Amino acid sequence: MGQISENILITNEIDAQLQKIFEQKDFDKIFVLTDQNVAQHVLPLIGSLADFPAFIITPGEHNKNLNTATEVWQFLTQNKASRKSLLINLGGGVITDLGGFAASTYKRGMAFINIPTTLLSQVDAAIGGKTGVNFHNYKNLVGTFTQPLYVLVNPLFLKTLPFQHFRAGFAEMVKHALLSSPTDWQLIKSFDLENIDYEFLKTLIHNSIKTKLHYVQQDPYEKNLRKALNFGHTIAHALETYFLDRQMPILHGEAVAIGLIAEIYLSNQKFLFDFNKVLEISAFISKNFPSYDIPYQDYEQILSIMTHDKKNAFGNVNFTLLKDIGEPQINQVCSKSNIIESLNFYRQLSMR
């Protein structure tokens, strides 16, 4: 089950895999990029990284910026990295995005390997070749499409991940399952977040990565099909900005959980997606995620954020919706009244 594609592997034997890669490839130098939490909890578990120079950043999204990228470039320069060197990005999405960006631009591109250590990065951020940093309050404004040389995933590294972050990554897995098939949906529905079975989790991570890859491989530069992965995200992005403006930031995955509920409702409005399934899916998500109060009087503000999102052309709000589980429909426009209804649907659920 471990090998998902030529260069993506799920394994509890990261050290052995690294040794194999180091023997096959002729790197002149090897470096590690990580953050303080991962340096404390995960780095000591990978013996073969012990001797390489490591650049350790302060954790957090606010450090995914050009200043930190500059520090990584400085670190590489001071250590005389060349185009034949390797950077190993060990961490969550902040590290894989930042490290991928720094490596893909250093000397016009050096190789990098992602070893993701959050659930979100294992099933999403480390896969697919998008790298980048935030710039002037815009997320991921500066970046590249560059594939990592390898992605090595060890689900056991998640044992020290705080639960809130685990759950946030799980929202993306629920999205992948709904994009994939009724079988994947039934499987994910039977996962117990409160009592994690790591063998079962490994299977779910495997399926989740396969779904992401399915879209990435057909459309690596996000011209059309890859947009399916935006399911749940139109409303999620607006809510992330809305809660940030209210100085009550929520995690991206927490916003995705709300977005999935609202957009599955929109899928029923637009494509008659079976309403019993709408209820089943929203009940599962509500059971596992906190509920947020989104007052009626703030709907206009949320709609206005949506119409100003750079992904929504010509004032229309663009959605990926589902005809059925496993049947995404990209580039769907929804009316303002339908969007409001979908927020009301979430509101009613969250007040129960």
Ligand X SMILES: NC(=O)c1ccc[n+]([C@@H]2O[C@H](COP(=O)([O-])OP(=O)(O)OC[C@H]3O[C@@H](n4cnc5c(N)ncnc54)[C@H](O)[C@@H]3O)[C@@H](O)[C@H]2O)c1
Contacts of 131 (CB under 8 A, 6+ apart): 96, 97, 98, 99, 100, 101, 103, 104, 143, 144, 145, 146
Asked if residue 240 binds ligand X (CB under 6 A), the reply is no
Q: Which of 4, 33, 37, 262 binds ligand X (CB under 6 A)?
A: 37
Please check whether residue 57 is in contact with residue 63, taking contact to mean a CB–CB distance below 8 angstroms.
Answer: yes
Closest residue to bound ligand X by CB? 93
Site residue total, ligand X (CB under 6 A): 30
CB of 107 to ligand X, least distance (A): 22
Is 126 or 343 the residue whose CB approaches ligand X more closely? 126
Please check whether residue 268 is in contact with residue 279, taking contact to mean a CB–CB distance below 8 angstroms.
Answer: no
Is 130 or 206 the residue whose CB approaches ligand X more closely? 130
CB of 34 to ligand X, least distance (A): 9
Kindly give the pairing relationship between strand 130-135 and strand 8-10: unpaired
Q: Which residues pair with 133 in a beta bridge?
A: 142
Q: Which of 95, 334, 339, 343 binds ligand X (CB under 6 A)?
A: 95
Contacts of 139 (CB under 8 A, 6+ apart): none
> What are 329-335's contacts with CB under 8 Å, separation 24+?
329/271, 330/224, 330/225, 330/227, 330/228, 330/230, 331/227, 332/266, 332/270, 334/266, 334/269, 334/270
Stretch that binds ligand X, among 11-19, 57-65, 76-84, 217-225 (CB under 6 A): 57-65
Asked if residue 256 binds ligand X (CB under 6 A), the reply is no
CB of 245 to ligand X, least distance (A): 18
Contacts of 77 (CB under 8 A, 6+ apart): none
Stretch that binds ligand X, among 1-9, 73-81, 91-99, 145-153 (CB under 6 A): 91-99
Asked if residue 124 binds ligand X (CB under 6 A), the reply is yes
Is 88 or 278 the residue whose CB approaches ligand X more closely? 88
Interacting residues with ligand X between 155 and 194 (CB under 6 A):
157-158, 160-161, 165, 168
Helix (H, G, I), strand (E, B) or coil at 115: strand
Cα–Cα distance between 281 and 265 in angstroms, integer? 10
DSSP state of 253: H
Is 131 or 332 the residue whose CB approaches ligand X more closely? 131
Is 8 or 339 the residue whose CB approaches ligand X more closely? 8
Please check whether residue 85 is in contact with residue 110, taking contact to mean a CB–CB distance below 8 angstroms.
Answer: yes
- Sign of the CA dihedral running 55, 58, 64, 67: negative
CB of 91 to ligand X, least distance (A): 6
Stretch that binds ligand X, among 3-11, 152-160, 188-196, 267-275 (CB under 6 A): 152-160
Asked if residue 326 binds ligand X (CB under 6 A), the reply is no
The residues of the shown chain that bind ligand X, judged by CB under 6 A, are 35, 37-38, 41-42, 59, 61, 64, 91-95, 97, 117-118, 120-121, 124-125, 128, 130, 139-140, 157-158, 160-161, 165, 168
